Amino acid sequence: MNTMPIRAALALPLILLASRPAAGEPVLVKMATIAPEGSQYHLILREMAEKWKSASGGAVEVRLYPGSVAGDDVDVIRKMRLGTLNSALLTSVGVAAVDKSVYALEVPMLYRSYEEVDYVLEKMAPKLEAALEAKGFVVLNWVDGGWVRFFTKTPVARPDDLKPLKLFAWAGDPEALEIWKGAGFNPVPLPTTEISTALQTGLVSALPTPPQAAVLLQWYTHAKNMTDVKWALLLGATLVNKATWEKIPAALRPPLKAAAQEAGKRLREEIRQAGERDVQAMQKRGLNVVTIDAKGEALWRAAAESAYGRIREKIIPAEAFDEAQRLVADFRRLKQAAREH
């Protein structure tokens, strides 16, 4: 008779008891996200929280703060540094508040498919995660929010159509504002918590955002035109404060991280499947999709590439920018070679 499963079963309660903090109090992980309560993001995070509690035998509890109640991503990172929050599901803006190398995965018009982004992220993730950990944050998973398009109050087909509009830009990033202005655009810096009001009042008349966010937060109801060009993929990650992570007994961290990575995988799959479905749903409710032909796409690509020299170093560390460019080229060569064989 194989006694190993029995021994493992008998040992598990002892492991869980030994893993509990000495004081007997559970480690409380306060996790924030700008995703609204009841959204797929929130529901999957809630399931992950339940798995953490179960897998740790109650030694770790997650308290969720959805719907921007803790502020936007930059606010959340500040609160994580202060210790009033411990963890967050963030967009790249929040991750970049720790280390801007993550923006190498979002170079405008560089990536043409999810495959390309996935390939580059797989290659760059170890270095990105090490840099973030060195600054006090542990990556639990990587997620994305879909391809950024421009949602506007008046139809926009070409970059010149966008330039006179008041374009939402994340507050707190003066280098990015300088680059937008230098390229002839009119950025308006605001926190994400003010987007809806800004669109309603006319303070903002153009918004770069994925369709999934536009429908989830109803932004498209105030910006009823969508330029159908994949400007960049909105990347994100779930981070936890390293000091909090290390309060969790070492034996528990691998199963908790596995549960977080499974949640990240589900989120990516859900978002990627929802993209076109969400566009169609918005069209039924009055969204005008401005289609872009090959000539128009070339204009958008040229507009983006003209700013690469300023983006490199000012927005994205040169080493990360160059590595992303090289990896995209490598991927395309590999794919071309596979087609030829």
SS3 9: helix
**What is the pLDDT confidence band of residue 113, given thresholds at 50, 70 and 90?**
very high
Separation CA 107–CA 53 (nearest Å): 38
H helix intervals, the chain? 4-19, 40-55, 73-82, 92-96, 114-134, 159-162, 174-182, 195-201, 211-216, 242-245, 253-284, 294-305, 308-314, 318-340
Provide, rounded to the nearest whole percent, the portion of the chain with pLDDT above 70.
93
Separation CA 262–CA 239 (nearest Å): 15
Under 8 Å between Cβ of 149 and 209: yes
User: CATH classification of 25-340 is 3.40.1710.10, yes or no?
Assistant: no
Tokens of 55: 């897998």
Separation CA 260–CA 137 (nearest Å): 15
Neighbours of 84 (CB within 10 A): 12
Cα-based distances in Å from 102 to 159, 163, 178, 212, 324: 25, 27, 20, 21, 10
Separation CA 95–CA 73 (nearest Å): 8
pLDDT one-digit tens code per residue, 152-167? 999 999 999 999 999 9
Indicate the domain borders of the chain.
Answer: 25-340
Separation CA 92–CA 145 (nearest Å): 10
pLDDT one-digit tens code per residue, 25-84? 899 999 999 988 988 889 999 999 999 999 999 999 999 999 999 999 999 999 999 999
Specify the pTM.
0.88
Tokens of 193: 């918590």
Q: How much is the CA Rg of the chain, to the nearest whole Å?
A: 22
Look at residue 17 in the predicted model and tell me its pLDDT: 38
SS3 99: coil
* Nearest Cα to Cα of residue 185 among 207, 201, 202, 200: 207
**What is the pLDDT confidence band of residue 288, given thresholds at 50, 70 and 90?**
very high
